[in-house]
Structure 1
């Protein structure tokens, strides 16, 4: 497939990505994540009430009855809500939700209730963070071995770009960030790394085969050579994830949304961010030119 990816477009996309990354980090810092029961511990109940009731009506009554802050989140359909609050003390008996909401004169249906202790939640958060750190360290080791550091830096920045975008989306929407979403983030790391390596490997081959061609043109040639493969792979994966999103139900909703965003941003960052950063760091064919070993030992 003949495809020319103008350098100015690639630079513009890289500038947009840098700006959005800054905004995403600011958004995560300001709003934070709506950590799920897996990480925080507590009681989660899912209820169904009349669809005309709003959170501004339900939350004050619940907070007064339970004597603490109640997280109330819409569950995807009118009248369906998710309540989350800390585990009550050992000797305390929390009031029944149906009794608490009786003044609203609505039919209250408690669909399910889950309880996770704070120690279990803290352990899950620690293990999840450790898994993320181990994955990043392994990726760093692999990139350091496979590529020259300037080219490896582009692939690494593309990974950071994708993870930040996914986390910023969950911070902006305040969707629940649980272990399932964390698993999606780890999957995105592997998917984006694979895409970045395909393009970086092609850049390395072209630098060695055509050392007289300027790097911006080398990058354009590498993108053109891998564009069809990237679009086919990303497109088929997006179709699978979209089907999971539409038909997987509420338990897989966070996972599928995170994967969908990660695949889109991973494809975008591999083409723009992963190729532009090595240019700015001064990558050239000299860095892949074979070194002549001295005759004398």
Structure 2
């Protein structure tokens, strides 16, 4: 039991250190906003079915001088190309850029997503994140005593900041799919934290005189197998999506993979250490007698 407490304290220190580094990366580098938020050009083309996405990537990156998102349109030889608006402000000639691809190029349509639309998407995404966090805080304040809820809240912040810090450090594109992954991470991390917190509350009510360190260790031991099975099966699914989903789902898969890993970690370490620092004990869940005095 003592070794478990030491490990929880050690991993909490590591978590706080990584979170501070993530905040530093966000402050220094910032996020590499995708076309969803900055605006860009979307072009749909029809090529020979023998042309691969790798060939398109190589040719377009060379011709346009920038990274181009190549997405299959679900029909053989049909592709959706997404790229930033050039400095001259006009859409480039995609047919000319793909002249050396070895296939007849048929440009089906081209549309420009302006920066104003991207700004609206960023605002709506931030609003969705804010509403989700407020709903979670309201639920935790109703379900648990504030000392126990504080661990879950800090674990949530830790998971989201770590994912954002990773994207800032690596400068991977942050688009709407990654934002969706961040919202999913909030729910997943909260699920693990609530399972452990609920078990802590049950033990405190049943054994109010038991030291909080032992209560936390017992709660973790009781839920550890369930947490590992849930996280393991989810990681297998996300890993398959990462390997087989291709470029369009790469950011989403990486964000989910990191979020599940850190969510499991933080629920066990950060989520249990903070209530100890606030001196949570069985008295906080004991029913207080109601006096008849006015």
TM-score by shorter chain over 0.5: yes
Contact 2:85 2:91 (C-alpha < 8 Å) held by counterparts? no
Which of residues 18, 21, 25 in structure 1 aligns to 2:19?
A: 21
User: CA shift at 1:215, angstroms?
Assistant: 0.5
- Residue in 1 aligned with 2:267? 270
Q: Is 1:162 aligned with 2:164? A: no
Equivalent residue pairs, number: 273
In the TM superposition, residue 99 of structure 1 has moved relative to its aligned partner by 6.0
Cα drift, residue 245 of structure 1: 1.3
Normalising by structure 2, we get a TM-score of: 0.82
Q: Deviations over 1:155-193 (max 9, x none)?
A: 000000110111111112211111111011101100100
Q: Secondary structure at the match of 1:283?
A: coil
- Offset of 1:100 from its aligned partner? 7.7
Find out whether 1:124 has 2:124 as its counterpart: no
Structure 2: 5+ residue stretches without partners: 44-52, 71-80
CA distance in 2, matches of 1:111, 1:129: 38
2:40 touches 2:112 (CA, 8 Å); kept in 1?
Answer: yes
2:47 aligned residue: none
Q: 1:111/1:71 Cα in 2 relative to 1: closer, same or farther (>3 Å)?
A: farther
> Could you tell me the TM-score, scaled by structure 1's length?
0.81
Q: Which residue of 1 aligns with 2:240?
A: 243
SS at match of 1:287: helix
Aligned-pair distance for 1:43? 2.8
Q: CA deviation at 1:93?
A: 4.0
- Mapping of residues 2-21 of structure 1, within 5 Å: 6-21=4-19
Give the Cα–Cα distance (whole angstroms) in 1 for the partners of residues 236 and 222 of structure 2: 23
Tell me by how many angstroms 1:115 deviates. 3.1
Gaps of 5+ in 1: 63-69, 76-81
Secondary structure of the 2:291 match is coil
Q: Is the 8 A contact 1:155 1:193 kept in 2?
A: yes
Specify the alignment match of 1:234 in structure 2.
231
Distance 1:122 1:288 in 2: 47
CA separation in 2, counterparts of 1:231 and 1:50? 39
Q: Offset of 1:114 from its aligned partner?
A: 6.2
Q: Contact conserved, 1:155 with 1:274, CA < 8 A, in 2? A: yes
